[in-house]
Structure 1
Amino acid sequence: MNDKKMQLIHAGMRLFGERDYHTASVQDIVSLAGVSKGAFYQHFQSKEEMLVSIYRHYFERFHADLHEAQFNQSRTPRELLIIAIQLQCKLVFEDKAFLCMIVKGIAFSHNQVLSDLFLQESVRSLKWFQDRITELYGPDIAPNSLDCAGMLNGLLKEYFFFAIFHNHPIDSTKLSEYLVERLDDLVQGILQKQTKPVLQSSYLHHEPTNLSDPYTLETSINRLRNWITTRVDDKQCSRALLQTLEALSAEMGKEQANGIIIQGMYNYFITLAKENKPLIEQFEQLFRSKVQHTQ
């Protein structure tokens, strides 16, 4: 992401958090960013698209850090859970402007693209924690793993609330270790009492209700990413598909995209998908016309 786009994102985030999304104008944003209106419209079609980009930027930053931590194969599932909580704390505590946007829930209920983005991010995050919990505690906890992931996520949000609204200082390292210890207690109680789960994993296969509506490229890529994360069981294949998708989308986002590289990554993704027809159909629907355009 280039410098001007980042300047605009930080300016928009600050204004949306400190003031209000609806009252902050494009002129206000470019004045604070120190760029022209022309620069704004080179990167965003509208203020609404910028809002979605802000959330996407932070969600992707979190997952990029998480994937980097996960590539270290010497780390145990327990260590990964602790790191994931620390990364969430870092995301929230280090940028108060983004935090203010989250708290205000800016334009959430009135923006279907943003609403869908939040739903997909929730599913993606829960699935990641669910998998780590099953890896850590074994197959016996699998039926309750989504409940455990949901409760862990809920506990973390409550600590965020104390840090934000009560200005309570919280050490992210201590908090992450403490919460995973509480997860130990939770899992032990569930296994001892053979508790029936409340949440079913089928929830994670939820699709947006308005699939026929037009989506931006970013939203469509996010939906495809979520589909891979939740429905491709082979972890090595899933990781390769996601990496190829990210590389393809990054290359296509360049002002002077290399058509040969794009075509190669496109073909490689189709090869990785093998006989997974629903995945191939979604992928081709999203990228076929754009790949042809670069040739």
Structure 2
Amino acid sequence: MNNKKELLVQAAIKLFGERDYHSTSVQDIVSLAGVSKGAFYQQFQSKEELLVFIFNHNYYEKVRNELHMVTQNQLLSPTERIMKGIEIQCQIVLENKDFLAMMIKGVAFTEKTISEAMTRETISYVHWFRERIEEQYGSDSDIKPHSMDLASILAGSLKEFFFYHIFCDYAVNPVVLSQYLIERLEDLVEGIIRRQNTARQTTPMLRASELRLNPDVVPVKTFASSVEEIMEWIQQHIADPHKLEEMLRSLQAVADEMDKQPCNPTIIQGMYVYLLSLAKDDKSLIYQLEQAFSLRKP
């Protein structure tokens, strides 16, 4: 992220937290950032675009990247991964308390782009917990059918503690809370097992295949939009000018091919392999590419 963009982002976070999104003007933001309005519109088309950028890059992208690193850490047990995932989300909430308070108090319900992103990410986190629960208890045929319910209860409980922290100044200790919630998860698992083969057997409420976005309510992220996002991401994170130019050229070639009817999947796959070769050992970049190209339909 360039210096002016960083100044604008930090000024907006401060003002959105102290006031609110709707009462903060572009002039307020540029005055605090110490840049001109022209500089603002060189970086963002509107105040809404700035808000979406902050929401995605200063909050959700951090969570996604951190959770990905936890998933890849083979030194952690499935239970430790769940606890680490809770701690990561707690820490990021603690760091963004004022901004999240502003989001919850109104913007999330009045700005469609934000509400859509919140819905997508919430479902994504629930599935992340489900996958970790299945890693831990998947060998137990009595528990696996309940993994979606357990993940939803865990994610919902965590969300409530965040609410109390943001609006009631409840002090959240990430390590203590993760230990407490993992114990409650174990209690739920023991309860399900105890009821098996009895008249009061527990029936699963949710299934993973059923918890998907309804495209009629929330548009599902497309491969084309994902390519645009990763182009923006690498411009902010890739310092090597030659590598940056090559990746942008390759991604543009992918975007151009996608515009053709029909497109050639061999060309797209070839570009994907080439992009991975450019990424080399950069795990964050490889993750971004994998996430983007996973949306491509065969």
Are the equivalent residues in 1 in contact too, given 2:125–2:155 (CA < 8 A)?
Answer: no
**Partner of residue 235, structure 1:** none
List per-residue Cα deviations over 1:227-281 (Å, max 9, x = no partner): xxxxxxxxxxxxxxxxx998655336689751466428954565699xxx99435
**Partner of residue 47, structure 1:** 47
Selected match of 1:185 from 184, 187, 190: 187
Could you tell me how far apart the structure 1 residues matched to 2:100 and 2:151 are? 22
**Partner of residue 280, structure 1:** 296
Please state how far the C-alpha of 1:127 moved relative to its aligned partner: 0.9
For normalisation by structure 2, the TM-score amounts to 0.73
Give aligned pairs, total: 254
Give the 3-state SS of the residue equivalent to 2:211 in structure 1: helix
Specify the code of the residue in structure 1 equivalent to 2:24: A
1:118 matches 2:118: yes
Cα 1:196–1:210 shift into 2, 3 Å: closer
List per-residue Cα deviations over 1:115-154 (Å, max 9, x = no partner): 2211111121111111001111124322211111111112
Specify the code of the residue in structure 2 equivalent to 1:30: V
Between 1:192-201 and 1:253-262, the stretch displaced more is 253-262
List per-residue Cα deviations over 1:164-208 (Å, max 9, x = no partner): 333232321111111111100011212322411222223333243
1:165 matches 2:167: yes
Aligned alpha-carbon RMSD (Å) = 3.3
Please state how far the C-alpha of 1:59 moved relative to its aligned partner: 0.3
Tell which structure's C-alpha radius of gyration is larger. 2
Specify the code of the residue in structure 1 equivalent to 2:62: R
**Partner of residue 197, structure 1:** 204
Are the equivalent residues in 1 in contact too, given 2:30–2:37 (CA < 8 A)?
Answer: yes
Specify the code of the residue in structure 2 equivalent to 1:91: I
For normalisation by structure 1, the TM-score amounts to 0.74
Give the 3-state SS of the residue equivalent to 1:280 in structure 2: coil
Could you tell me how far apart the structure 2 residues matched to 1:159 and 1:125 are? 16
Specify the code of the residue in structure 2 equivalent to 1:70: T
Give the 3-state SS of the residue equivalent to 1:205 in structure 2: coil
**Partner of residue 208, structure 1:** 215
Are the equivalent residues in 2 in contact too, given 1:116–1:208 (CA < 8 A)?
Answer: no
Aligned-residue sequence identity (percent) comes to: 42
Could you tell me how far apart the structure 2 residues matched to 1:221 and 1:16 are? 31
Could you tell me how far apart the structure 2 residues matched to 1:249 and 1:148 are? 36
Are the equivalent residues in 1 in contact too, given 2:79–2:136 (CA < 8 A)?
Answer: yes
Could you tell me how far apart the structure 1 residues matched to 2:134 and 2:106 are? 32
Cα 1:110–1:12 shift into 2, 3 Å: same
Could you tell me how far apart the structure 2 residues matched to 1:26 and 1:96 are? 22
Please state how far the C-alpha of 1:74 moved relative to its aligned partner: 1.2
Between 1:131-140 and 1:176-185, the stretch displaced more is 131-140
Which aligned pairs between 1:241-252 and structure 2 lie closer than 5 A? Answer: 250-251=233-234
Specify the code of the residue in structure 2 equivalent to 1:202: S
Between 1:130-139 and 1:247-256, the stretch displaced more is 247-256
Between 1:260-269 and 1:39-48, the stretch displaced more is 260-269
**Partner of residue 64, structure 1:** 65
Instruction: Show structure 2 runs of 5+ residues with no match.
Output: 196-200, 255-267, 277-288
